[in-house]
Amino acid sequence: MANNPKSQVELSKLIFTMNWEDPESDKAALQIKPGEQVMTITSGGCNTLEMLLLNPAIIYAVDINPAQTYLLELKIRALQQLSYPEFICLMGLTDTMNRPAIFEKIKPHLSEPALAFWLAHQPIISNGILMSGRFEKFVRIASRMLQLIQGRRKVQQVFAPSSLQEQQEFYDMHFNTWQFRLIFKMLFNKRMLARRGLSADYFYFDDGSHSYAESFYKRAHNVLTNVPVQDNYFLALYLLGNYKSNFQVPAYLKEENFPILQKNVSNLQLITADVKQWLKSRQPDSIDCFSLSNICELKSEEDTTLLFEEVARVAKNGARCCFRNLIVPREIPQSLQDRIRKNKPLSEQLLEKDRSFVYGKVAAYTIVK
Protein backbone atom coordinates (compact mmCIF):
# COMPACT_ATOMS: atom_id res chain seq x y z
CA MET A 1 0.00 0.00 0.00
CA ALA A 2 1.45 3.36 -0.98
CA ASN A 3 1.85 5.88 1.78
CA ASN A 4 2.63 9.54 2.12
CA PRO A 5 5.27 10.65 4.64
CA LYS A 6 3.13 13.64 5.57
CA SER A 7 0.33 11.26 6.57
CA GLN A 8 2.73 9.42 8.89
CA VAL A 9 4.55 12.42 10.36
CA GLU A 10 2.41 15.09 11.99
CA LEU A 11 4.28 18.15 10.83
CA SER A 12 4.88 20.72 13.60
CA LYS A 13 4.21 18.06 16.27
CA LEU A 14 7.16 17.15 18.45
CA ILE A 15 7.08 13.36 18.17
CA PHE A 16 10.49 12.71 19.77
CA THR A 17 12.50 14.80 22.22
CA MET A 18 15.33 12.27 22.32
CA ASN A 19 16.67 9.51 20.11
CA TRP A 20 15.61 5.93 20.72
CA GLU A 21 18.21 4.47 18.36
CA ASP A 22 21.27 3.11 20.16
CA PRO A 23 24.15 5.42 19.10
CA GLU A 24 26.67 2.63 19.66
CA SER A 25 24.99 0.66 16.87
CA ASP A 26 25.22 3.63 14.51
CA LYS A 27 28.85 4.25 15.39
CA ALA A 28 29.72 0.59 14.80
CA ALA A 29 27.88 0.59 11.46
CA LEU A 30 29.19 3.91 10.17
CA GLN A 31 32.77 3.97 11.48
CA ILE A 32 32.86 7.76 11.18
CA LYS A 33 36.37 9.14 10.73
CA PRO A 34 37.58 12.68 11.49
CA GLY A 35 36.99 14.99 8.54
CA GLU A 36 34.20 12.95 6.95
CA GLN A 37 30.83 14.26 5.79
CA VAL A 38 27.82 12.70 7.50
CA MET A 39 24.07 12.84 6.88
CA THR A 40 21.66 11.99 9.70
CA ILE A 41 17.94 12.06 10.35
CA THR A 42 17.45 14.79 12.95
CA SER A 43 14.69 13.20 15.08
CA GLY A 44 15.51 13.98 18.73
CA GLY A 45 18.97 15.29 17.85
CA CYS A 46 20.77 13.19 20.47
CA ASN A 47 22.57 10.85 18.09
CA THR A 48 23.50 13.70 15.79
CA LEU A 49 25.20 15.42 18.73
CA GLU A 50 26.80 12.12 19.72
CA MET A 51 28.37 11.86 16.26
CA LEU A 52 29.94 15.30 16.68
CA LEU A 53 32.21 13.70 19.28
CA LEU A 54 33.86 11.78 16.40
CA ASN A 55 35.03 15.05 14.76
CA PRO A 56 33.39 14.85 11.32
CA ALA A 57 33.92 17.81 9.01
CA ILE A 58 30.16 18.37 8.79
CA ILE A 59 26.92 16.69 9.77
CA TYR A 60 23.80 17.43 7.74
CA ALA A 61 20.83 16.84 10.05
CA VAL A 62 17.73 16.43 7.86
CA ASP A 63 14.11 16.02 8.92
CA ILE A 64 10.79 16.60 7.17
CA ASN A 65 9.25 17.71 10.48
CA PRO A 66 10.20 21.32 11.37
CA ALA A 67 9.47 20.66 15.05
CA GLN A 68 12.38 18.22 15.19
CA THR A 69 14.63 20.83 13.58
CA TYR A 70 13.57 23.40 16.19
CA LEU A 71 14.37 20.87 18.91
CA LEU A 72 17.93 20.34 17.70
CA GLU A 73 18.36 24.08 17.19
CA LEU A 74 17.40 24.57 20.84
CA LYS A 75 19.92 21.95 21.95
CA ILE A 76 22.64 23.57 19.81
CA ARG A 77 21.99 27.03 21.26
CA ALA A 78 21.92 25.53 24.75
CA LEU A 79 25.36 24.02 24.16
CA GLN A 80 26.68 27.34 22.89
CA GLN A 81 25.16 29.64 25.52
CA LEU A 82 24.88 27.66 28.75
CA SER A 83 27.13 26.18 31.37
CA TYR A 84 27.08 22.40 31.78
CA PRO A 85 24.86 22.50 34.92
CA GLU A 86 22.40 24.77 33.09
CA PHE A 87 22.44 22.50 30.04
CA ILE A 88 21.59 19.28 31.87
CA CYS A 89 18.94 21.08 33.91
CA LEU A 90 17.23 22.32 30.75
CA MET A 91 17.45 18.80 29.29
CA GLY A 92 15.73 17.44 32.41
CA LEU A 93 18.54 15.52 34.10
CA THR A 94 18.39 17.79 37.15
CA ASP A 95 15.84 20.22 38.56
CA THR A 96 18.20 22.42 40.55
CA MET A 97 17.58 25.61 38.55
CA ASN A 98 14.72 27.58 37.07
CA ARG A 99 14.32 26.23 33.53
CA PRO A 100 12.31 29.18 32.12
CA ALA A 101 15.09 31.48 33.37
CA ILE A 102 17.67 29.30 31.63
CA PHE A 103 15.61 29.47 28.44
CA GLU A 104 15.79 33.28 28.57
CA LYS A 105 19.54 32.99 27.93
CA ILE A 106 18.88 31.05 24.72
CA LYS A 107 15.96 33.06 23.32
CA PRO A 108 17.99 35.82 21.60
CA HIS A 109 19.98 33.21 19.69
CA LEU A 110 17.09 31.21 18.22
CA SER A 111 15.79 31.70 14.69
CA GLU A 112 12.38 33.36 14.45
CA PRO A 113 10.50 30.13 13.60
CA ALA A 114 12.25 28.21 16.39
CA LEU A 115 11.57 30.97 18.90
CA ALA A 116 7.89 31.08 17.95
CA PHE A 117 7.69 27.30 18.33
CA TRP A 118 9.26 27.26 21.78
CA LEU A 119 7.25 30.21 23.04
CA ALA A 120 4.18 28.15 22.14
CA HIS A 121 5.56 25.07 23.97
CA GLN A 122 6.72 26.46 27.29
CA PRO A 123 5.52 23.43 29.33
CA ILE A 124 8.21 21.35 27.59
CA ILE A 125 10.81 23.86 28.75
CA SER A 126 9.46 23.86 32.30
CA ASN A 127 9.25 20.07 32.54
CA GLY A 128 12.68 19.35 31.05
CA ILE A 129 13.09 18.59 27.38
CA LEU A 130 14.21 15.00 27.08
CA MET A 131 11.08 13.13 28.21
CA SER A 132 8.48 15.54 26.80
CA GLY A 133 7.77 14.33 23.25
CA ARG A 134 4.74 12.26 22.31
CA PHE A 135 6.69 9.02 22.24
CA GLU A 136 8.49 9.85 25.50
CA LYS A 137 5.13 10.39 27.22
CA PHE A 138 4.07 6.96 25.96
CA VAL A 139 7.25 5.47 27.45
CA ARG A 140 6.47 7.06 30.81
CA ILE A 141 2.92 5.70 30.73
CA ALA A 142 4.31 2.25 29.93
CA SER A 143 6.88 2.40 32.73
CA ARG A 144 4.26 3.47 35.30
CA MET A 145 1.96 0.68 34.23
CA LEU A 146 4.81 -1.82 34.41
CA GLN A 147 5.76 -0.69 37.92
CA LEU A 148 2.13 -0.87 39.01
CA ILE A 149 1.66 -4.41 37.68
CA GLN A 150 5.10 -5.87 38.45
CA GLY A 151 5.88 -3.77 41.51
CA ARG A 152 8.45 -0.98 41.61
CA ARG A 153 10.91 -3.03 43.66
CA LYS A 154 10.88 -5.91 41.18
CA VAL A 155 11.39 -3.50 38.29
CA GLN A 156 14.38 -1.96 40.04
CA GLN A 157 15.80 -5.44 40.69
CA VAL A 158 16.09 -5.96 36.92
CA PHE A 159 19.29 -3.90 37.10
CA ALA A 160 20.87 -5.88 39.98
CA PRO A 161 22.36 -8.88 38.08
CA SER A 162 26.08 -8.60 37.37
CA SER A 163 26.24 -11.33 34.71
CA LEU A 164 24.11 -12.46 31.79
CA GLN A 165 23.43 -15.76 33.55
CA GLU A 166 22.07 -13.98 36.63
CA GLN A 167 20.11 -11.67 34.36
CA GLN A 168 18.50 -14.57 32.48
CA GLU A 169 17.67 -16.41 35.71
CA PHE A 170 16.01 -13.34 37.23
CA TYR A 171 13.98 -12.76 34.09
CA ASP A 172 12.84 -16.39 33.81
CA MET A 173 12.04 -16.83 37.51
CA HIS A 174 10.65 -13.44 38.52
CA PHE A 175 9.95 -11.08 35.64
CA ASN A 176 8.55 -13.00 32.69
CA THR A 177 5.06 -13.27 34.16
CA TRP A 178 1.69 -13.35 32.43
CA GLN A 179 1.18 -9.81 33.75
CA PHE A 180 4.36 -8.69 31.97
CA ARG A 181 3.14 -10.19 28.71
CA LEU A 182 -0.27 -8.57 29.21
CA ILE A 183 1.33 -5.13 29.21
CA PHE A 184 2.41 -5.62 25.61
CA LYS A 185 -1.15 -6.43 24.56
CA MET A 186 -2.41 -3.32 26.33
CA LEU A 187 0.20 -0.86 25.09
CA PHE A 188 1.69 -2.22 21.89
CA ASN A 189 -1.34 -2.26 19.65
CA LYS A 190 -2.16 -0.31 16.52
CA ARG A 191 -4.46 2.21 18.20
CA MET A 192 -2.17 3.03 21.12
CA LEU A 193 0.95 3.36 18.97
CA ALA A 194 -0.90 5.59 16.49
CA ARG A 195 -1.91 7.90 19.34
CA ARG A 196 1.76 8.24 20.21
CA GLY A 197 2.91 9.10 16.71
CA LEU A 198 3.66 5.62 15.33
CA SER A 199 1.08 4.53 12.79
CA ALA A 200 1.11 1.92 10.05
CA ASP A 201 -1.80 0.23 8.32
CA TYR A 202 0.32 -1.62 5.79
CA PHE A 203 2.74 -3.64 7.94
CA TYR A 204 3.67 -7.27 8.11
CA PHE A 205 6.14 -8.83 10.54
CA ASP A 206 9.31 -10.54 9.38
CA ASP A 207 10.09 -12.12 12.77
CA GLY A 208 7.27 -14.64 12.68
CA SER A 209 4.99 -12.55 14.90
CA HIS A 210 1.28 -12.07 14.32
CA SER A 211 0.80 -8.79 16.18
CA TYR A 212 2.55 -5.70 17.49
CA ALA A 213 2.37 -7.13 21.02
CA GLU A 214 4.07 -10.40 20.10
CA SER A 215 6.80 -8.70 18.07
CA PHE A 216 7.67 -6.14 20.75
CA TYR A 217 7.55 -8.80 23.47
CA LYS A 218 10.19 -10.79 21.57
CA ARG A 219 12.37 -7.69 21.31
CA ALA A 220 12.02 -6.98 25.04
CA HIS A 221 12.79 -10.62 25.84
CA ASN A 222 16.08 -10.35 23.92
CA VAL A 223 17.25 -7.15 25.59
CA LEU A 224 16.32 -8.43 29.07
CA THR A 225 18.16 -11.73 28.64
CA ASN A 226 20.97 -11.22 26.10
CA VAL A 227 22.12 -7.61 26.52
CA PRO A 228 23.88 -6.52 29.75
CA VAL A 229 21.51 -4.44 31.87
CA GLN A 230 24.09 -2.59 33.94
CA ASP A 231 24.88 0.22 31.50
CA ASN A 232 21.72 0.08 29.43
CA TYR A 233 20.25 3.55 29.90
CA PHE A 234 17.57 2.78 27.29
CA LEU A 235 16.25 -0.03 29.47
CA ALA A 236 16.19 2.33 32.45
CA LEU A 237 14.07 4.77 30.46
CA TYR A 238 11.65 2.04 29.37
CA LEU A 239 11.30 0.45 32.81
CA LEU A 240 11.80 3.36 35.21
CA GLY A 241 10.78 6.33 33.05
CA ASN A 242 14.10 8.09 33.68
CA TYR A 243 17.86 7.56 33.69
CA LYS A 244 19.17 5.62 36.70
CA SER A 245 21.78 8.30 37.35
CA ASN A 246 23.46 11.24 35.65
CA PHE A 247 26.44 8.96 34.99
CA GLN A 248 24.46 6.39 32.99
CA VAL A 249 23.44 8.67 30.14
CA PRO A 250 24.35 9.14 26.46
CA ALA A 251 27.87 10.41 25.84
CA TYR A 252 26.67 13.83 24.65
CA LEU A 253 25.17 14.48 28.11
CA LYS A 254 28.37 13.70 30.01
CA GLU A 255 30.35 16.59 31.45
CA GLU A 256 33.68 15.46 30.02
CA ASN A 257 32.27 15.73 26.48
CA PHE A 258 30.64 19.14 26.93
CA PRO A 259 33.70 21.17 25.75
CA ILE A 260 34.11 18.93 22.68
CA LEU A 261 30.51 19.51 21.67
CA GLN A 262 30.84 23.25 22.20
CA LYS A 263 33.86 23.23 19.89
CA ASN A 264 32.32 21.01 17.20
CA VAL A 265 28.71 22.17 17.17
CA SER A 266 29.43 24.70 14.42
CA ASN A 267 30.02 21.70 12.13
CA LEU A 268 26.32 20.90 12.24
CA GLN A 269 23.89 22.07 9.55
CA LEU A 270 20.12 21.81 10.06
CA ILE A 271 17.83 21.10 7.11
CA THR A 272 14.04 20.80 7.14
CA ALA A 273 13.20 18.80 4.03
CA ASP A 274 12.27 15.40 2.69
CA VAL A 275 15.50 13.40 2.68
CA LYS A 276 15.13 12.20 -0.91
CA GLN A 277 14.55 15.73 -2.19
CA TRP A 278 17.50 17.05 -0.21
CA LEU A 279 19.77 14.31 -1.56
CA LYS A 280 18.77 15.29 -5.10
CA SER A 281 20.34 18.70 -4.44
CA ARG A 282 23.70 17.20 -3.48
CA GLN A 283 26.71 16.58 -5.69
CA PRO A 284 27.62 12.98 -6.60
CA ASP A 285 30.30 11.26 -4.51
CA SER A 286 30.08 13.78 -1.67
CA ILE A 287 28.93 12.02 1.53
CA ASP A 288 30.74 9.39 3.60
CA CYS A 289 28.06 8.21 6.04
CA PHE A 290 24.25 7.98 6.09
CA SER A 291 22.32 7.41 9.31
CA LEU A 292 18.74 6.96 8.10
CA SER A 293 16.92 5.79 11.25
CA ASN A 294 13.68 4.09 10.16
CA ILE A 295 12.52 6.64 7.58
CA CYS A 296 11.96 3.95 4.94
CA GLU A 297 8.85 2.95 6.90
CA LEU A 298 7.38 6.35 6.08
CA LYS A 299 7.72 5.67 2.37
CA SER A 300 6.22 3.34 -0.19
CA GLU A 301 8.47 0.65 -1.64
CA GLU A 302 8.71 2.69 -4.84
CA ASP A 303 9.76 5.79 -2.93
CA THR A 304 12.22 3.72 -0.91
CA THR A 305 13.86 2.66 -4.17
CA LEU A 306 14.12 6.29 -5.29
CA LEU A 307 15.64 7.23 -1.93
CA PHE A 308 18.36 4.61 -2.15
CA GLU A 309 19.09 5.50 -5.75
CA GLU A 310 19.95 8.97 -4.46
CA VAL A 311 22.00 7.50 -1.60
CA ALA A 312 24.00 5.46 -4.12
CA ARG A 313 24.53 8.54 -6.33
CA VAL A 314 25.57 10.92 -3.54
CA ALA A 315 27.71 8.42 -1.61
CA LYS A 316 31.44 8.26 -1.99
CA ASN A 317 32.93 4.90 -2.88
CA GLY A 318 33.15 2.96 0.39
CA ALA A 319 30.55 5.12 2.15
CA ARG A 320 28.62 3.49 4.99
CA CYS A 321 24.89 3.45 5.65
CA CYS A 322 22.78 2.37 8.61
CA PHE A 323 19.01 2.12 8.84
CA ARG A 324 16.35 0.45 10.95
CA ASN A 325 12.89 -1.06 10.84
CA LEU A 326 10.42 -0.49 13.63
CA ILE A 327 7.11 -1.97 12.45
CA VAL A 328 7.37 -2.04 8.65
CA PRO A 329 10.03 -4.32 7.11
CA ARG A 330 12.12 -2.55 4.50
CA GLU A 331 15.27 -3.65 2.66
CA ILE A 332 17.60 -2.26 0.02
CA PRO A 333 15.84 -2.78 -3.34
CA GLN A 334 17.09 -5.80 -5.29
CA SER A 335 18.17 -3.56 -8.17
CA LEU A 336 20.62 -1.71 -5.89
CA GLN A 337 22.05 -4.54 -3.82
CA ASP A 338 25.17 -4.81 -5.98
CA ARG A 339 25.99 -1.19 -5.12
CA ILE A 340 24.60 -0.94 -1.57
CA ARG A 341 25.93 -4.10 0.04
CA LYS A 342 24.70 -5.39 3.36
CA ASN A 343 27.22 -6.44 5.96
CA LYS A 344 25.19 -9.40 7.23
CA PRO A 345 27.45 -10.53 10.11
CA LEU A 346 27.72 -6.97 11.47
CA SER A 347 23.98 -6.37 11.00
CA GLU A 348 23.11 -9.51 12.96
CA GLN A 349 25.51 -8.49 15.71
CA LEU A 350 24.09 -4.96 15.87
CA LEU A 351 20.52 -6.20 16.23
CA GLU A 352 21.44 -8.81 18.83
CA LYS A 353 23.33 -6.31 21.00
CA ASP A 354 21.24 -3.18 20.37
CA ARG A 355 20.34 -1.68 23.75
CA SER A 356 17.08 -0.13 22.53
CA PHE A 357 14.68 -3.04 22.15
CA VAL A 358 12.02 -1.37 20.00
CA TYR A 359 13.69 -1.84 16.62
CA GLY A 360 13.14 -5.10 14.73
CA LYS A 361 16.05 -4.45 12.39
CA VAL A 362 19.37 -2.61 12.66
CA ALA A 363 21.47 -3.04 9.53
CA ALA A 364 24.81 -1.85 8.15
CA TYR A 365 25.69 -1.34 4.48
CA THR A 366 28.63 -0.26 2.35
CA ILE A 367 28.23 1.61 -0.94
CA VAL A 368 30.52 0.25 -3.66
CA LYS A 369 31.17 2.12 -6.92
Whether 318 is in a domain gets the answer yes
199 pLDDT higher than 60: no
Whether 1 is in a domain gets the answer no
Give the count of domains, the chain: 2
Q: Write down the pTM of the prediction.
A: 0.91
Q: Which among 240, 261, 276 is the end of a domain? A: 240
pLDDT score for 7: 44
Of 224, 247, 236, 219, the closest CA to residue 161 belongs to: 224
The answer to whether residues 229 and 256 belong to one domain is no
The answer to whether residues 89 and 227 belong to one domain is no
The answer to whether residues 162 and 70 belong to one domain is no
The answer to whether residues 355 and 254 belong to one domain is yes
pLDDT score for 209: 59
203 pLDDT higher than 50: no
User: Are 300 and 2 in contact, with CB atoms under 8 Å apart?
Assistant: yes
On average, the pLDDT of the chain sits at 91
5 pLDDT higher than 60: no
The answer to whether residues 36 and 102 belong to one domain is yes
Average pLDDT over residues 121-137: 95
Of 231, 239, 256, the closest CA to residue 355 belongs to: 231
Q: Which among 240, 272, 298 is the end of a domain? A: 240
Q: How far is CA 46 from the centre of its chain?
A: 8
pLDDT score for 198: 52
The answer to whether residues 121 and 155 belong to one domain is no
Q: How far apart are CA 65 and CA 68, in angstroms?
A: 6
Whether 8 is in a domain gets the answer no
Whether 305 is in a domain gets the answer yes
* Residue 292 DSSP SS3: coil
The answer to whether residues 154 and 120 belong to one domain is no
The answer to whether residues 324 and 344 belong to one domain is yes
Domain that holds residue 60: 17-131+250-367
pLDDT score for 207: 57
The answer to whether residues 314 and 264 belong to one domain is yes
The answer to whether residues 95 and 184 belong to one domain is no
